[in-house]
């Protein structure tokens, strides 16, 4: 057989060989460093035996797949340590993830002291250096094997596997776990690891099932890489919007109100209002949108027409019982069908299109409690939602316009470098999830590929991530912990106009179905605010700050002048406050720095006498004395242009 290696060279063997033996044949150093491999592009365990021609790439810790194998093996070592110290714990699953690994256990909550003890036990297991051996069992034997070990969750996993699935196990000494791999050859391959936290999780992510305890950890090939990761995690904790946003008095949550229903304080509300006014003016004055205002709920009849009742009902808040109530209502999870009836309110000519409707829409989605976090996933949220009803010949250019608007918003917010673009496609193997014919889906997806390629926007394709009525471009970003969320969506819809009997009159007097673009310009205000908090660690660009200037009188004698300065700033639409406390000026400056206020204006005798202000900023430190009119002109221009000053002073 011929084995083509990553560098293009070819190895020939007269008989079958394991990947590990091939790595050893290439060099002992490669075999020692090998973590797993890719065979014809698919990840494979080092124990896999090759018996035919293929392309082979040996993965080390420098490769994403190799690092994942290290972390996956670390999760098994964690499971062994838990069984050693807490024999009554029941095993569930323990995968590698982007930032490390986790393992879920049916057990009482783990304390930090427990994690420290588990780390010590893991080090003993690693030091022993047990080899990991893979073996398989027939279904009945596999079930009996795990029943005898008292592992009911493993039994359930085996029972749910397809009839023809290979049921494989890995042993490391006396410890055995159900697993498909891949794994390192020995536990000694784990060079540096850390257990970082524990939390509650649900079995299979379902809140109606057992409550488990999840232990998170991470692993790297060197202590230096591990320390760098832990430093990044400390920075992530510092930037975490769920902590920082509360510390900055931007939002809060209350148990008696409910999970996923944040309360915005005056400061947080002011930030959202600045973003909202900017977006609404931008859409209406510069991009030709017409604003609508539609109900927050509707009868189930509306959602049955759109298809949401069949495809999305579980994610909706429904009032009433279809069997017992004459009318059943639901809070809206989207605005599109409402805006369709705005379009249908009057007959449209081909000359009236495109109709660009936009609405600052409050939406409701019944998210699972285990999925909610801070402002990134909530049950009530407000979105910059829009729908463009267009002629088919206008579709491509209008879609490009939606992309251009989204890119402009990202650039203005200063986050354009943080996003990735995804073409979210349908899954032809899961037809019942979607409406429409395959040829419509394939044609639509190709149009979107052509647009992205023409605009030279890099993107990846995600199968099965489309909405039930059309493919979309999702613009995604990661939070400080590496979890990816969709920030902006632009969707191509060639199907729903038929279901709502939408049409326009063409130049021949015929009725023609329009196409529809579903889009957001900036996305969800709550999620965007969370993103901005973490991006800037609370030190926002001046234009979006809830407090842009704090005036600091040196003593009570200059309180009146400080108030006059504040009034002048407010007349110019600059958000300013005065710190009139009987504190020393050094204390007031430190307090303003901690509050992350962009500008401090210190006023005393000379400033009052000459109409000056002494300016200190986050960006340049002490900027010296300036006439008030000069400072006003500078800050108003900074706010008007939405400048992002990046030369921030390190404090």
Dump pLDDT digits (tens) for 555-574: 999 999 999 999 999 999 99
**Mean per-residue pLDDT of the chain:** 93
> Residue 503 is encoded by which pair of tokens?
């049409």
Can you tell me whether residue 85 is helix, strand or coil?
helix
| 432 band by pLDDT with thresholds 50, 70 and 90 | confident
pLDDT at res. 647: 61
d(CA 646, CA 322) in angstroms, rounded, equals: 57
Span 375-389, mean pLDDT?
A: 95
Span 528-551, mean pLDDT?
A: 96
Span 20-33, mean pLDDT?
A: 94
Dump pLDDT digits (tens) for 182-192: 999 999 999 99
Q: Across the strands, what pairs with 10?
A: 4
| 546 band by pLDDT with thresholds 50, 70 and 90 | very high
DSSP for 185-201, please give it: SBGGG--EEEEEEEEEE
Residues 6+ apart with CB under 8 A from 246: 252
Dump pLDDT digits (tens) for 501-523: 999 999 999 999 999 999 999 99
d(CA 550, CA 566) in angstroms, rounded, equals: 8
| 166 band by pLDDT with thresholds 50, 70 and 90 | confident
Dump pLDDT digits (tens) for 303-358: 999 888 888 888 899 998 877 777 899 999 999 999 999 999 999 999 999 999 99
Query: Do residues 465 and 424 lie in contact, with contact meaning Cβ atoms separated by under 8 Å?
Result: yes
d(CA 382, CA 379) in angstroms, rounded, equals: 10
pLDDT at res. 649: 46
Percent of the chain with pLDDT over 90: 85
Query: Do residues 585 and 554 lie in contact, with contact meaning Cβ atoms separated by under 8 Å?
Result: yes
Higher-confidence position of 308 and 526: 526
d(CA 216, CA 33) in angstroms, rounded, equals: 25
Span 252-281, mean pLDDT?
A: 95
Span 163-170, mean pLDDT?
A: 89
d(CA 390, CA 502) in angstroms, rounded, equals: 11
Count Cα neighbours of 453 within 13 Å in the Cβ-side half-sphere.
7
d(CA 218, CA 554) in angstroms, rounded, equals: 51
The interaxial angle of helices 559-571 and 628-640, nearest 10 deg, is 40
Q: At 398, which helix (H) or strand (E)?
A: helix 395-413
Taking 80 as the threshold, does the pLDDT of residue 136 lie above it? yes
Q: At 305, which helix (H) or strand (E)?
A: helix 300-306
Taking 70 as the threshold, does the pLDDT of residue 119 lie above it? yes
Span 538-562, mean pLDDT?
A: 96
Predicted TM-score (pTM) of this structure: 0.83
pLDDT at res. 648: 53
pLDDT at res. 95: 95
> Residue 31 is encoded by which pair of tokens?
């075999």
Buried b (16+ CB within 10 A) or exposed e, 86-120: beebbbbbbebeebbbbbbbbbeebeeebbebbee
Torsion of CA 239, 243, 245, 247, to 10 degrees: -110
Query: Do residues 320 and 330 lie in contact, with contact meaning Cβ atoms separated by under 8 Å?
Result: no
Residue 429's Cβ-count burial label (10 Å; 0-12, 13-18, 19+) is exposed
d(CA 46, CA 35) in angstroms, rounded, equals: 7
Taking 60 as the threshold, does the pLDDT of residue 650 lie above it? no
Dump pLDDT digits (tens) for 194-253: 999 999 999 988 878 999 999 999 999 999 999 999 999 999 999 999 999 999 999 999
Percent of the chain with pLDDT over 70: 99
Q: At 246, which helix (H) or strand (E)?
A: helix 241-247
Count Cα neighbours of 46 within 13 Å in the Cβ-side half-sphere.
28
Dump pLDDT digits (tens) for 66-104: 999 999 999 999 999 999 999 999 999 999 998 899 999
| 396 band by pLDDT with thresholds 50, 70 and 90 | very high
pLDDT at res. 324: 73
Count Cα neighbours of 241 within 13 Å in the Cβ-side half-sphere.
25
Higher-confidence position of 447 and 166: 447
| 495 band by pLDDT with thresholds 50, 70 and 90 | confident
Hey, what long-range contacts does 411-418 have (CB within 8 A, 24 or more apart)? 412/278, 412/642, 413/522, 413/528, 413/532, 414/535, 414/536, 414/541, 414/644, 415/477, 415/531, 415/532, 415/535, 418/477, 418/478, 418/535
> Residue 193 is encoded by which pair of tokens?
């690891």
| 651 band by pLDDT with thresholds 50, 70 and 90 | very low
Span 600-610, mean pLDDT?
A: 96
d(CA 274, CA 574) in angstroms, rounded, equals: 12
d(CA 161, CA 163) in angstroms, rounded, equals: 6
The residue to which tokens 């510390």 are assigned:
247
Query: Do residues 183 and 73 lie in contact, with contact meaning Cβ atoms separated by under 8 Å?
Result: yes
| 386 band by pLDDT with thresholds 50, 70 and 90 | very high
């Amino acid at each position: 057989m011929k084995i083509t290696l990553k560098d293009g060279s070819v190895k020939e063997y007269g008989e079958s060989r394991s990947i590990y033996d091939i790595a050893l044949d290439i060099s002992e150093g490669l075999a020692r460093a090998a973590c797993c491999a890719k065979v014809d592009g698919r990840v494979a365990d080092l124990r896999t035996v090759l018996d035919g021609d293929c392309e082979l790439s040996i993965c080390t810790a420098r490769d994403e797949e190799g690092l994942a194998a290290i972390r996956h093996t670390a999760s098994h070592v964690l499971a062994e340590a838990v069984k050693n110290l807490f024999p009554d714990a029941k095993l569930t699953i323990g995968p590698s993830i982007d930032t490390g690994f986790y393992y879920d256990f049916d057990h009482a909550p783990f304390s930090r002291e427990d994690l420290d003890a588990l780390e010590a036990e893991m080090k003993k297991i690693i030091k022993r250096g047990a080899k990991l051996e893979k073996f398989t069992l027939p279904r009945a034997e596999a079930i009996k094997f795990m029943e005898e070990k008292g592992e009911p969750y493993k039994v359930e996993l085996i029972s749910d596997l397809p009839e023809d699935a290979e049921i494989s196990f890995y042993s490391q000494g006396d410890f055995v776990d159900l697993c498909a791999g891949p794994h390192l050859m020995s536990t000694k391959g784990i060079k540096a690891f850390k257990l970082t936290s524990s939390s509650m999780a649900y079995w299979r992510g379902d809140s109606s099932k057992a409550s488990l305890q999840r232990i998170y950890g991470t692993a790297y090939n060197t202590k230096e890489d591990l320390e760098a990761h832990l430093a990044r995690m400390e920075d992530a904790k510092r930037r975490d919007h769920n902590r920082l946003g509360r510390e900055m008095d931007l939002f809060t949550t209350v148990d008696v109100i409910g999970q996923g229903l944040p309360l915005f304080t005056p400061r947080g509300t002011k930030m959202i209002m600045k973003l909202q006014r900017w977006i609404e003016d931008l859409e209406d004055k510069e991009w030709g949108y017409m604003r609508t205002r539609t109900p927050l709920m509707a009868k189930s009849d509306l959602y049955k027409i759109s298809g949401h009742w069949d495809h999305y009902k579980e994610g909706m808040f429904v009032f009433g019982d279809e069997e017992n109530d004459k009318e059943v209502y639901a809070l809206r999870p989207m605005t599109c069908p409402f805006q369709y009836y705005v379009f249908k309110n009057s007959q449209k000519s081909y000359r009236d299109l495109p109709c660009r409707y936009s609405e600052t829409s409050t939406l409701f989605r019944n998210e699972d409690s285990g999925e909610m976090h801070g402002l990134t996933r909530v049950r009530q949220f407000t979105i910059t939602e829009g729908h463009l009803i267009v002629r088919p010949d206008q579709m491509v250019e209008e879609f490009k316009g939606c992309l251009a608007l989204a890119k402009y918003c990202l650039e203005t917010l200063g986050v354009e470098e943080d996003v990735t673009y995804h073409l979210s496609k349908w899954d032809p193997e899961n037809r019942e999830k979607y409406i429409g014919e395959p040829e419509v889906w394939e044609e639509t997806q190709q149009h979107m590929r052509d647009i992205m390629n023409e605009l030279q926007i890099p993107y990846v394709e995600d199968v099965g991530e489309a909405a039930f009525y059309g493919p979309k471009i999702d613009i995604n970003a990661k939070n400080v912990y590496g979890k990816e969320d969709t920030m902006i969506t632009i969707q191509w819809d060639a199907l729903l106009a038929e279901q709502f009997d939408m049409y326009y009159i063409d130049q021949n007097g015929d009725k023609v179905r329009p196409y529809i673009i579903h889009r957001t310009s900036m996305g969800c205000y709550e999620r965007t605010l969370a993103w901005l908090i973490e991006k800037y660690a609370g030190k926002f660009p001046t234009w979006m700050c809830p407090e842009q200037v704090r005036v600091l009188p040196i003593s009570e004698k200059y309180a009146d002048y400080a108030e006059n300065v504040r009034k002048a700033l407010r007349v110019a639409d600059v958000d300013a406050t005065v710190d009139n406390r009987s504190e020393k000026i050094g204390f007031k400056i430190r307090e303003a720095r901690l509050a992350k206020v962009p500008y401090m204006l210190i006023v005393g005798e000379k400033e009052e006498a000459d109409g000056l202000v002494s300016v200190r900023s986050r960006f340049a430190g002490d900027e010296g004395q300036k006439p008030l009119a000069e400072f006003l002109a500078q800050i108003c221009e900074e706010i008007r242009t939405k400048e992002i000053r990046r030369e921030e002073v390190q404090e």
